[in-house]
Amino acid sequence: MPHAAVDGIKLYYEEAGQGSPLVFVHEFAGDYRSWRPQVQFFSRRYRAIAYNARGYPPSDVPEDPKAYSQDRAVEDLRGLLDALSIKKAHVCGLSKGGYARYTSRSAIPIACCPSWWRVPATAA
């Protein structure tokens, strides 16, 4: 299982494909598997990466509640990019992951390409 060492913890990730990196950040109630259809599709053209945030096994689950915050999620995204030697990436997030992605735009200006947003389908 691939893990990236980020600030004293290990984040689990999966990747497929080659090309410009496209990182998927999951929502609160999901994990890296939430992005499988997108990773499969986009890996035809991109280096598609989905990871589990801290607290979502098989990533590490710190016991200290202070180890969790939206700012920490942004730093984990930055750390993942660094660990994978990625200087610039497309980042797509949903819900909690969307907030981390949005916030990372200003916190990691050199790392994010144009915005990607995943919008849930609505009932017709």
Q: How far is CA 111 from CA 6, 81, 108, in A?
A: 16, 8, 5
d(CA 86, CA 65): 29
pLDDT tens digits, one per residue of 11-65: 999 999 999 999 998 888 889 999 999 999 999 999 999 999 999 999 999 999 9
pLDDT value, residue 120: 44
26 token code pair: 């999951």
pTM above threshold 0.75:
yes
Provide the CA 57 distance to its chain's centre, in angstroms.
14
